[in-house]
């Protein structure tokens, strides 16, 4: 079974631009979560989607948004990029059906903001 895939793997943007990252979960998984990983803050939760609905949100500004499509694929968008947004953005998927479930991570998208 294929794992979680994320595209693109690397991105370079300049301040003020916006960016869209994509995540395809493991087949059959309906929950997708996004995390930001930086050396300074570690792994921080952005948001979680299930059945096209945002079910949980972390403490990030409104410039960070996401959505989920009917096939469970998810995108996250960051508008008006800041230097501090440079990070590894990780997507994790789980079945999302009941209880506490294992989350499987993708390889991440490395974003560099200049």
Partner 1 sequence: GENVEQHPSTLSVQEGDSAVIKCTYSDSASNYFPWYKQELGKGPQLIIDIRSNVGEKKDQRIAVTLNKTAKHFSLHITETQPEDSAVYFCAATTRRGSTLGRLYFGRGTQLTVWP
Using CB under 8 A, list all residues that contact partner 1: 4, 31, 33, 35, 42-43, 45, 48, 50, 55-56, 58, 90, 92, 94, 96, 99-108
Nearer to partner 1, 17 or 45 (CB): 45
- The overall longest dimension of the chain from CA atoms, in Å, is 42
Nearer to partner 1, 14 or 56 (CB): 56
Q: Beta strand 10-13 with 109-113: parallel, antiparallel or unpaired?
A: parallel
Nearest approach in angstroms of CB 107 to partner 1 is 5
Nearer to partner 1, 17 or 73 (CB): 73
Mark 79-104 as b/e (b = at least 16 C-beta within 10 Å). Answer: eebeeebbbebbbbbbbbeeeeeebe
């Amino acid at each position: 079974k294929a794992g979680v895939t994320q595209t693109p793997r690397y991105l370079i943007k300049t301040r003020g631009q916006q960016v869209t990252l994509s995540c395809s979960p493991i087949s059959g998984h309906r929950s997708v979560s996004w995390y930001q990983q930086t050396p300074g803050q570690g792994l921080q939760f952005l948001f979680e989607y299930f059945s096209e609905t945002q079910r949980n949100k972390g403490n990030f500004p409104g410039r960070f948004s996401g959505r989920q499509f009917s096939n469970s694929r998810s995108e996250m968008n960051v508008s008006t990029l800041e230097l501090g947004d440079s990070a590894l953005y990780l997507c994790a998927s789980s079945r999302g059906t009941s209880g506490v479930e294992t989350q499987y991570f993708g390889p991440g998208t490395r974003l560099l903001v200049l």
